[in-house]
Amino acid sequence: MERRFSPVLFAALSLGIAVLYVPILVLIAYSFNASPLVSVWGGFSTHWYVELMHNRQILQAALLSLEVAVASSTAAVVLGTLTSIALVRFARFPGRLLLTGMVNAPLVMPEIITGITQLLLFVSMLQMFSWPHRGFTTIVIAHIAFCTAYVTVTVQSRLQSADRSLEEAAMDLGSSPAQAFVEVTLPIIAPALISSWLLSFTLSLDDLVISSFVSGPGASTLPMVIYSKVKLGVSPDVNALASLIICLVGTCVMAAGYFMRRAERRRVLDMQIAERG
């Protein structure tokens, strides 16, 4: 393929990337500002980070958000993997179209609609079955629903490229189909499972709109607390908190990318060995 990189393309790309990153870098820089006035630079300080560690409301919200994120991303990886196996391996089954629709729709559905409809379901369920009470449980259920969509998309593409002949070889050697899948294909798609867990984790950690609808009194996630603070304007302790979250999420995403790339390299290497052998 011809690799030409015209100056125009280079400029467009650089500008786009600058637009994406400058605001975040400025925010991180200002989180180390000693001055409580957000527009004046008063020297370097970690004062706002220390302040955060003493803010009970924020610590509690952070803990709730982490618990929700771990629970919902774990469940979403299980459901999303099952969905992608169903969609990739079973060409026809009743409900296939419905399932495809339900994993694609959350990717574009405005969160505000998903949030309000799910809340109305939970409220009606509570009336009928006295379960679930709004709070941790309802937030986790709502997060599982949209994370499952993202997991399915990620795992599905990996599963499509996984080599079926290895599984067939295992079955010829006497494995049951389920055993062949678990022992042969599961290790191949494992990196996609890890990276989709990490991505679900960050999505859940971030969600404001859906959580605000389905949460109940007393259960405020971190984004809910941040939103109510940000509504009052730019403040230095939110800068510090935002910087911490951005670093945490950034690390997760880079780890996800790393796992995907390492798996890809291994796969290519295996194929080369197989071809030589």
Rounded CA gap, 277 and 259, in Å? 27
Is the four-CA dihedral 250, 146, 214, 234 of positive or negative sign? Answer: positive
Instruction: Copy the structure tokens of residue 76.
Output: 């979403």
Binding status of residue 237 toward other proteins by CB under 8 A: no
Among residues 52, 66, 86, 162, the one that binds other proteins under rule CB under 8 A = 86
Helix (H, G, I), strand (E, B) or coil at 266: helix
Rounded CA gap, 186 and 85, in Å? 11
- If the CB atoms of residues 92 and 277 are measured against other proteins, the closer one turns out to be 92
Helix (H, G, I), strand (E, B) or coil at 44: strand
Among residues 64, 77, 205, 219, the one that binds other proteins under rule CB under 8 A = 205
Residue 12 CA, distance from chain mean position: 28
Among residues 33, 72, 148, 196, the one that binds other proteins under rule CB under 8 A = 148
Rounded CA gap, 48 and 53, in Å? 9
Among 47-55, 189-197, 229-237, 268-276, which window interacts with other proteins (CB under 8 A)? 229-237
Among residues 33, 73, 154, 156, the one that binds other proteins under rule CB under 8 A = 156
Length of the chain equals 277
Q: Which helix (H) or strand (E) holds 100?
A: helix 96-108
Among 42-50, 188-196, 224-232, 268-276, which window interacts with other proteins (CB under 8 A)? 224-232
- Each residue 162-201 as x (binds other proteins by CB under 8 A) or -, in order, gives -----x---x-----xx--x-----------------x--
Q: What letter does residue 197 receive in the DSSP assignment?
A: H
Please report, as residue ranges, which positions from 32 to 71 form the binding site for other proteins (by CB under 8 A): 38-39
Q: Write the burial class of residue 54 (CB in 10 Å: 0-12 exposed, 13-18 middle, 19+ buried).
A: exposed
- If the CB atoms of residues 46 and 104 are measured against other proteins, the closer one turns out to be 104
Minimum distance from CB of 277 to other proteins (Å)? 25
Please report, as residue ranges, which positions from 8 to 27 form the binding site for other proteins (by CB under 8 A): 8-10, 12-13, 16-17, 19-24, 26-27
Among 49-57, 114-122, 188-196, 266-274, which window interacts with other proteins (CB under 8 A)? 114-122
